Amino acid sequence: MIAGLALRAFLKAHWVPIMIGIAVLGALWFVDHRGYQRSENEHKAAEAARLQQSIAIVGAIGRNLNHRFALLDAQLGAELGEIDRQERNLAQPRIRQELARDPGLATRQCLTPGLLDAINLSRGLGVGEPPKPAGADARSMP
């Protein structure tokens, strides 16, 4: 009871400075909160700009890699074509020689050892190696 009377007397005597203090504290909180919101908005805008920049960089890297892979693919295709051409040039003359040497080969009756070696060479086998079973895929040869 006495504390209540003392509190009332204190508030009655000092209510104006207390209200000014509350108003100043409220204004400070409001200004600080507005600064916080502005800072958050600036942070979000900067993050969005960084994201857009990252997307642009990744897109440029992807296009660059696609271009390089296309060049490598074309180069590899040309090199593989050249290897195929060279392999044909190695085996075909030998096969023609064997056909010229033995015209009976055109009748499919037999293969000469030289022609068999040329065929095995074109299949990726060494000379004198036993042939793979019938129907074996040449791409699976070592």
What are the CA-CA distances from residue 47 to residues 52, 59, 60, 134 (Å)? 9, 18, 20, 66
pTM over 0.75: no
H helix or E strand, kind and range, residue 64: helix 2-101
pLDDT by residue (tens digit) across 66-84? 999 999 999 999 998 888 7
pLDDT by residue (tens digit) across 16-46? 999 999 999 999 999 999 999 999 999 999 9
